[in-house]
Amino acid sequence: MLAVHKFEPSSRTNRVSSNQSGVLMSDEANKGLLSPLRRKLLMGMAAVPAITMLPRASFAQAPATSAVNTTGLAVTDTEVTVGILHSATGTMAISETGSIEAEKLAIEQINAMGGVLGRKIKFIQEDGASDWPTFAEKAKKLLVNDKVAAIMGCWTSASRKAVLPVMEQYNGMLYYPTFYEGLEQSKNVIYTGQEATQQILAGLNWIAKEKGAKSFFFVGSDYIWPRTSNKIARKHVENVLKGKVVGEEYYPLGNTQFNSVINKIKLTKPDVIFTDVVGGSNVAFYKQLKAAGIDLSKQALLTISVTEDEIDGIGGENIAGAYACMKYFQSLDNPNNKTFVPAFKKMWGEKTVIGDVTQAAYLGPWLWKLTAEKAGSFDVDKIAAASPGVEFKGAPEGYVRIHENHHLWSKTRVGRAKLDGQFELIFETADFVEPDPFPKGYQ
Amino acid sequence: MFGDYSLGDLGSIFVMQGFAGLILFSVYVLMALGLAIIFGQMGVINMAHGEFMILGAYVTWMTSNFFQSYLPSLFSGYFFLAMILAFVASGALGMLVEWVLIRHLYKRPLDTLLATWGLSLILQQAYRSVFGAREVGVELPQWMLGSLHVSDSIEVPINGVFVMCLTVLITVAVAYVMYKSRWGRQVRAVVQNRIMAGAVGINTEKVDRYTFGLGCGIAGVAGSAFTMIGSTGPTSGQLYIVDTFLVVVFGGAASLIGTIASAFSISQTQSTLEFFLSGSMAKVLTLLAVVGILMLRPQGLFALKVRK
C-alpha cells in the first residue's frame, strides 16, 4: 500500500507494495514528515484504497499505449478518456446530480493517485437531459466520436434500456449505478447498484422476523421498476414468508394526491407498508401520510426508494421512523466511509447528502480502474472478461466484488430514518448477497 | 371488498374519503384559478403556469429559512407572510413577462403556447441554477402538521383543512374582484372587445398587465400552499400543469363557475375511482370521461353566452 500523494510525486516513492487488496492507509508512518495541512490532504485521499500510486518518474514504466489499447480507444501516453452520461437538466437532474458528483470525485481521486495504467483519466460529460433518445444519441457520440474507454452513466431503467443497444453495437463499457429491477445482463454493462432481489428479500425477511409482519400493503409509482420489484416482493411474501399482500396500488409518475390510498391503508391496517414511490410523488406521499395521522414510529413502513437525497425534499420530520432497505447509508460506520463522506463534502459542499445511488456511482470509476489494471488493458473485451472477481475493498459501503453476471456482491442493509434526514443502521446481512438478476420462482 | 369490515369502519372510511375528495377539489380549484383568469379571461395559453406556482413555493422555502435563522420565535406564523410574498413575487414576475413577451402575442393566441412553453423551460433551468437541482424541503410550523383527531378512525389532515379554507377565501376574493369591482368590469370589457374598451377610455394595456399579474400571483399562492402537500423542485410545476389545464378547459374556459364545477366533478370522480380501483386506472377513467364529455360539449361545462 502506498501513500504517495500528488503534491510531491517525484520526491517520494514510498510505495510499499502494489497489491490490489487496498489495505488501510498507514499515514501513521508518515506522520513526522507531513505538515498538518498535508496530513489533512492525505487523510482526504485515504478515502480511496491505496492502489498503485505511480510517481511521475514511473510513467516511463507505464505500459505502452499500443499494448493497452488495441481497439482505437481515446488513450494517449498520458491520458485515457471516459464519458459521464447523466441528466444534468430535466426532471431527472434531481436524482442524477449526485451520481455526476460522485463520479467526478472518484476520477479526481484516482488521478491524484496516479491514474490508471499510468494514465490520467480525462472525462467528457454529456447531458442526457432526462430524455431517453438523447441518452442513446449521446452514448453513440461518446463511443463513436470520442472513442471513450468507458461510460459512467444512466440512472433510470428507461435510459439504460435506450443506451444498451448502442453499447452492444459499438462495444462500449457502461457502469450503471442505480438499484434496478434486474432481468438484464450484458457483457457491456457493469451494474454497480443492487438488482431487485438483492435489495428487497433481505429487508422483507428482516421486517417479517423483527416485527412479526404478516400483512403487507404495496404502494408504488406506475412503471417498470416498482411493478417488477413488487412482483418479486409479493412472491416472497406469499411463498416464503407465508404472509399476505392486502393491497397493491400504483400511481402515475408525478402524482401528488395520495389521500385515497392512505384511506385504504387505514382500512386494511397492514403490518407493513411497502413502498417504491419515486420522484416528486415521494414528497407528496410522506407529507400526506403524516398529515393523515399515520405515525411511522408505530406503523412499520419499508421503502426501497427513499435515500438521503429524497429525504432532503421530503423533510426529515415527515419520514422519521420509516425503514429503508438498500446497501448504503451515509451514516455507515466503517473506515472507508469515514473518509469518503468528508472528501465528498469537501468537494461538493457541506450540505450535500449522499444516497445509495451516489455511492454506487462512486464505485464505477474505481471498479473500471481496478479491472483495467487486472486486465492490463483498456480494451473493452478484456475489461468485460476481467471484470468477474474484481474486488474493491475501499468501497464506502465496505467491500464489493463483481459477480460473473456483472452485478456486485453486496450486503443489504436496513436503516431507520431520523429527524435530521439521516438513517440509523438497524440491520445488515451477515454475508454478501449474491446478485441474481433472473431470479427463479420470482418471475 | 367490504366484506371484512365492520359498519363503523366503513362509515369512517366514507367520511375520510369524502374529505380526501374535498381536499383534492380545493387543490384543483386553487391551481386552476390563476389559469382560469389568464387562459379563460385573456385567452393566453400559459404553459408556464406551473413554474409561477413553483416560484411561490421557492419563496415560501426562503421565507421559512429566513424565519428559522433570524426570527425563530415567529416561525409558527411565517406561512401567512410567505403566501403574501409568494403572491407579490409571482405577480411581479407575471407582470414583467406580460410586458416583455405576452403583450406582443394577444393577436396570436396559439403562439402564446410556444412562447410560454419556452418560458417554462427557461424558468425551470433558472430555478435549477439558483436553487440547485435537488428538491428542497419546506419546514412547516408544528401546528400545521398532523391531523385533527375526530374519532378513533376519523382523522382530518390539518394541511388539508388549511388548503380548503385558503381556496374558499381566494375564490371569493377573485369572484368579487372580477364581478363586483370596477376593475373587474374593465377586465371583462377588454376581454370581450379590446378595441371598444380602449375607445371608451379603458387603459387596456394596464388592465392586461394587472390581470396577467393577478393570475400569476394566485398561482404563486397556490404554489406556496402546495409546499404542504407536494414537492418543491425545479420541475415540480410540471406535475400540476396537465391537471390545471384539464380543469379549466373542462369547466369552460371563460367561466369561473365552470372552473369550480369542473374541479368538483373531476376531483370527486378521481378520488372515488381511486378508492375502488387503483390510482392509475382512476386517472385513465377520469381522463376518458373528460374526453367523452368534451366531445359532446366542446365549449366545456359552462360557457358564456355570447353573440357570435
| Beta-carbon contacts of residue A144 (< 8 Å; ≥ 6 apart) | A170
| Chain B residues close to A281, C-beta within 8 Å | 231
Cβ–Cβ below 8 Å for A259 and B226: no
Q: Name the residue type at position A287.
A: K
**Min Cα–Cα distance to chain A from B197, Å:** 42
**Min Cα–Cα distance to chain A from B137, Å:** 4
Cβ–Cβ below 8 Å for A267 and B9: yes
Of B13, B135, B229, the CB nearest to A256: B229
Cβ–Cβ below 8 Å for A263 and B13: yes
Cβ–Cβ below 8 Å for B235 and A90: yes
| Chain B residues close to A264, C-beta within 8 Å | 275
Strand order in the sheet with A323-326: A244-251, A215-221, A272-276, A300-303, A323-326, A413-417, A423-428
Query: How many other CB atoms sit within 10 Å of the CB of residue A244?
Result: 13
φ, ψ (nearest 5 deg) of residue B40: -65, -50
Q: What is the pLDDT of residue A25?
A: 42
Closest CA to A308 of A169, A159, A415: A415
Of B145, B233, B279, the CB nearest to A249: B279
Closest CA to A323 of A220, A423, A202: A423
Of A257, A282, A293, the CB nearest to B155: A293
**Min Cα–Cα distance to chain B from A36, Å:** 34
| Chain A residues close to B27, C-beta within 8 Å | 256-257
Cβ–Cβ below 8 Å for B138 and A314: no
| Chain B residues close to A312, C-beta within 8 Å | 134-137
Cβ–Cβ below 8 Å for B234 and A93: yes
Q: What is the pLDDT of residue A14?
A: 41
SS3 of residue A315 by DSSP: coil
Closest CA to B231 of A95, A129, A356: A95
Give, for A108, the enclosing helix (H) or strand (E).
Answer: helix A93-112
Cβ–Cβ below 8 Å for B239 and A256: yes
| Beta-carbon contacts of residue B60 (< 8 Å; ≥ 6 apart) | B79, B82, B83, B85, B86, B138, B223, B224, B227, B232
Q: What is the pLDDT of residue B4?
A: 59
Q: What is the pLDDT of residue A294?
A: 87
Of B149, B233, B271, the CB nearest to A260: B271
Closest-CA residue in chain B for A87? B133
Closest-CA residue in chain B for A287? B229
Closest-CA residue in chain B for A97? B133
Q: Tell me which of A259, A282, A290, A312 to substitute to probe the interface with B (most B C-beta atoms closer than 10 Å).
A: A259
Give CA separation, B190 vs B112, B209, B248, B282, in Å.
Answer: 18, 12, 20, 40
Q: Tell me which of A92, A94, A130, A275 to substitute to probe the interface with B (most B C-beta atoms closer than 10 Å).
A: A94
How many Å apart are CA A50 and CA A366, to the nearest integer?
11
DSSP H helices, A246-304, are 259-268, 280-291
**Min Cα–Cα distance to chain B from A170, Å:** 32
Which grid coordinates are listed for B134? 435537488
Q: What is the pLDDT of residue B306?
A: 53
| Chain B residues close to A314, C-beta within 8 Å | 137, 231
Question: pLDDT tens digits for A80-118?
Answer: 999 999 998 776 777 888 999 999 999 999 999 999 999
**Min Cα–Cα distance to chain B from A187, Å:** 33
Closest-CA residue in chain A for B274? A260
Cβ–Cβ below 8 Å for B231 and A313: yes
Cβ–Cβ below 8 Å for A254 and B229: no
Q: What is the pLDDT of residue A371?
A: 96
How many Å apart are CA B114 and CA B239, to the nearest integer?
19
CA angle A367, A340, A41 (to 5 degrees): 110
Of B16, B235, B278, the CB nearest to A249: B278
| Chain A residues close to B240, C-beta within 8 Å | 256
| Chain A residues close to B229, C-beta within 8 Å | 256-257, 284, 287-288, 291
Closest-CA residue in chain B for A89? B125
For range B208-218, the mean pLDDT: 92
| Chain A residues close to B134, C-beta within 8 Å | 94, 97-98, 309, 312-313
| Chain A residues close to B16, C-beta within 8 Å | 263, 266
Stretches in chain A below the pLDDT threshold 50: 1-34, 36, 39-40, 42, 44, 46-60
| Chain B residues close to A250, C-beta within 8 Å | 278-280
How many Å apart are CA B298 and CA B304, to the nearest integer?
13
Query: Looking at chain A, how many residues does it have?
Result: 443
Closest-CA residue in chain A for B26? A257
Q: What is the pLDDT of residue A49?
A: 47
Cβ–Cβ below 8 Å for A267 and B234: no
A145 secondary structure, DSSP code: I
| Chain B residues close to A291, C-beta within 8 Å | 145-147, 157-160, 228-229
Q: pLDDT band for position B5 (50/70/90)?
A: low
**Min Cα–Cα distance to chain B from A267, Å:** 7
**Min Cα–Cα distance to chain B from A31, Å:** 39
| Chain B residues close to A267, C-beta within 8 Å | 5, 9, 13
Q: Name the residue type at position A244.
A: K
Query: Scanning the structure block, which residue is given the C-alpha cell 369591482?
Result: B181
Query: Scanning the structure block, which residue is given the C-alpha cell 370581450?
Result: B192
Query: Residue A308: left (phi > 0), alpha (psi -120 to 50), or beta?
Result: alpha
Q: pLDDT band for position B3 (50/70/90)?
A: low
B180 exposed, middle or buried (CB, 10 Å; 0-12, 13-18, 19+)?
exposed
Cβ–Cβ below 8 Å for A259 and B139: no
Question: pLDDT tens digits for A33-92?
Answer: 445 455 445 454 544 444 444 444 444 467 888 889 999 999 999 999 999 999 987 767
Q: What is the pLDDT of residue A29?
A: 43
pTM: 0.80
How many Å apart are CA A267 and CA B132, to the nearest integer?
39
Of B158, B159, B236, the CB nearest to A280: B236
Question: pLDDT tens digits for B169-182?
Answer: 999 999 998 889 99
**Min Cα–Cα distance to chain B from A168, Å:** 31
Facing residues of B184 across strands? none
Query: How many other CB atoms sit within 10 Å of the CB of residue A333?
Result: 8
Give, for A247, the enclosing helix (H) or strand (E).
Answer: strand A244-251
**Min Cα–Cα distance to chain A from B276, Å:** 9
